[in-house]
Amino acid sequence: MSHSKNENTFSRRFFIKTSSAFTALALVPHSIKAFYNDIKETYFTKKVVLPIYLKINGKDYNLNADSRTTLLDLLRENLNLTGTKKGCDHGQCGACTVHINGQRALSCLSLAAMMQGKEITTIEGLANGDNLHPMQEAFLEHDGYQCGYCTPGQIMSAVACVNEGHTKSIEEIKEYMSGNICRCGAYNGITNAIKSVAK
């Protein structure tokens, strides 16, 4: 009898303790959510949807987008132009390189709302129909890629490198292509491709 009484006591205590714990846990999410909402209201910019006009690869686009949207996300998520790659998303790898008014730029660091009326060219707009751009052909010829993930950004930077006239030497090419990282290490092929187009 004594043993049975202890078991019942233990069960009641266990039930009361666990019930209290679950009640406390049920209250936590609401508290955290309220705290998060307070922080968000105080410190974060509120969502504002803006009408944006862009000219991308020769086509006009009128759309509405969050004022905080990057050009990279707009290209990939809104316009399905997925050739421009999201690598580091911090402006350190160059995979998202595009041309804005003829100048190379990192689309992950460019706000779409700041691109109103500007001419934007992505890797999809580099070729002339079925005819590849000379730099695209050179990358194929000189094995300027391996996995291919960084290749669109590499090609966009390589075209800009030639247009800017930074191809007087191998060292100069490497210097002006240093913002584009190839994790596979296809740098020799990339450099040779740029040299061949520059000639």
Residue 181 pLDDT exceeds 90:
yes
| Angle CA 65–34–42, to nearest 5 | 55
Q: What is the mean pLDDT of residues 104-123?
A: 96
In this predicted structure, what is the pLDDT of residue 192? 97
186 vs 143: CA distance, rounded Å: 8
Give how far Cα 138 sits from Cα of 33, 40, 49, 142, Å.
54, 49, 42, 6
Smallest CA-to-CA distance from 52 within 103, 114, 106 is with: 114
In this predicted structure, what is the pLDDT of residue 6? 52
In this predicted structure, what is the pLDDT of residue 82? 97
Write down the CATH superfamily of domain 49-125: Beta-grasp domain (3.10.20.30)
pTM for this prediction: 0.78
Domain range list for the chain: 1-44, 49-125, 134-198
Q: What is the mean pLDDT of residues 60-80?
A: 95
In this predicted structure, what is the pLDDT of residue 15? 66
Residue 115 pLDDT exceeds 90:
yes
Residue 152 pLDDT exceeds 70:
yes
68 vs 48: CA distance, rounded Å: 8
Bridge partners (DSSP) of residue 104 are: 99
pLDDT band at 17 (very low <50, low <70, confident <90, very high): low
Residue 25 pLDDT exceeds 60:
no
Residue 36 pLDDT exceeds 60:
yes
Give the position of tokens 């666990």. Answer: 18
Each residue of 84-94: pLDDT tens digit? 999 999 999 99
The secondary structure element, H or E, covering residue 103 is strand 103-106
Q: Percent of the chain having pLDDT more than 70?
A: 84
Residue 169 pLDDT exceeds 70:
yes
In this predicted structure, what is the pLDDT of residue 47? 80
The third-level CATH classification (topology) of the domain covering 134-198 is DNA polymerase; domain 1 (1.10.150)
166 vs 104: CA distance, rounded Å: 13
pLDDT band at 43 (very low <50, low <70, confident <90, very high): confident
| 18: DSSP letter | H
Residue 187 pLDDT exceeds 60:
yes
